[in-house]
Amino acid sequence: MFTNHLYIINSITPMHVGSGDANFGLIDKQIQRDAITGYPTIHSSSLKGALREYTIHKCDMTNKTAEEKNNFIANIFGDSDKNGKIRFIDAHLLSVPFRSDEAPYYMCTSPKAIEQLIDLAAILGISLPNTEALRQFTTTDVATALVRSGKPMIEEIQASSSNELNFDVLENLIGAPAALVSDVMFDEMLKNLPVIARNALENGESKNLWYEEVVPRKSKFFTVISIPTYLDHNDSSKLLNTFNQFREYLSDKDTIHIGANASIGYGITTFKEIGNE
């Protein structure tokens, strides 16, 4: 009923996609997290809103008439009269950089994070490159952390090396150097993401200090954007043409802003489609 397209979202700068929940702890503004895994996430509504703003900007740079532009946006995202035809799915965390004594950082992921990617691709019929090599990372017994070589300290974790895993495949996906961290360790590491102090000034004086949780730059998420195949031939052909233009927007060199605080450089990302190529 849908043709599905898998994307990796690369965070160029720190990102704050706020949960919007009331919080009375030390962190005033927390990020969105998955209800099951507790991993950072980007809810589909937030993702759709960010991509809508980006697409409007891209349309403004074309020769489309106002009517063509409005129809283009409405077909993808909907408007006050109808729902959009394209389906957007929550973006799930794949990897996060953590500091190390042997490198500025390691791109860390976990068996559970990789397994979620593989499972989603399989369920939605997406051909994920190097699936079997990636699956080995989900079935490997890792006590703390595994890397390609050496025994670096990653945060407070002593890693060891493995010559049984294909780190080339993992690093092509999440970046280098990569580390596979146990699910338990990864869960603990994700509880202590960076917190940035923000200060509102009034006539040069501090009036309001608050603390904001962010996902660090170079973190990666994965998401799926789907186009329906159940429409009649004419509607399906028009929507496919619209979606192909939208895919071109996502695959160019422009960056896409997601989340809050664009004025201070938060949330700058790029999208890359993988699979079904």
Write out pLDDT tens, residues 128-170. 999 999 999 999 999 999 999 999 999 989 999 999 999 999 9
**Judgement on whether residues 184 and 229 belong to the same structural domain of the protein:** no
Q: What domain count does the chain have?
A: 2
Residue 173 lies in a domain: yes
**Judgement on whether residues 182 and 124 belong to the same structural domain of the protein:** yes
Write out pLDDT tens, residues 69-96. 998 999 899 988 888 889 999 999 999 9
**What pLDDT does residue 105 have?**
96
**Judgement on whether residues 156 and 81 belong to the same structural domain of the protein:** no
Tokens of 200: 């509102």
Tokens of 173: 């996906």
Q: CATH number, domain at 66? A: 2.40.30
**Judgement on whether residues 8 and 55 belong to the same structural domain of the protein:** yes
Residue 207 lies in a domain: no
Count of alpha carbons within 13 angstroms of residue 140, beta-carbon side? 27
**Judgement on whether residues 238 and 262 belong to the same structural domain of the protein:** yes
**What pLDDT does residue 5 have?**
95
Q: The whole model's pTM is what?
A: 0.92
Residue 202 lies in a domain: no
The boundaries of the domain holding residue 244 are 1-17+44-89+216-277
Write out pLDDT tens, residues 203-221. 666 666 778 899 999 999 9
Residue 201 lies in a domain: no
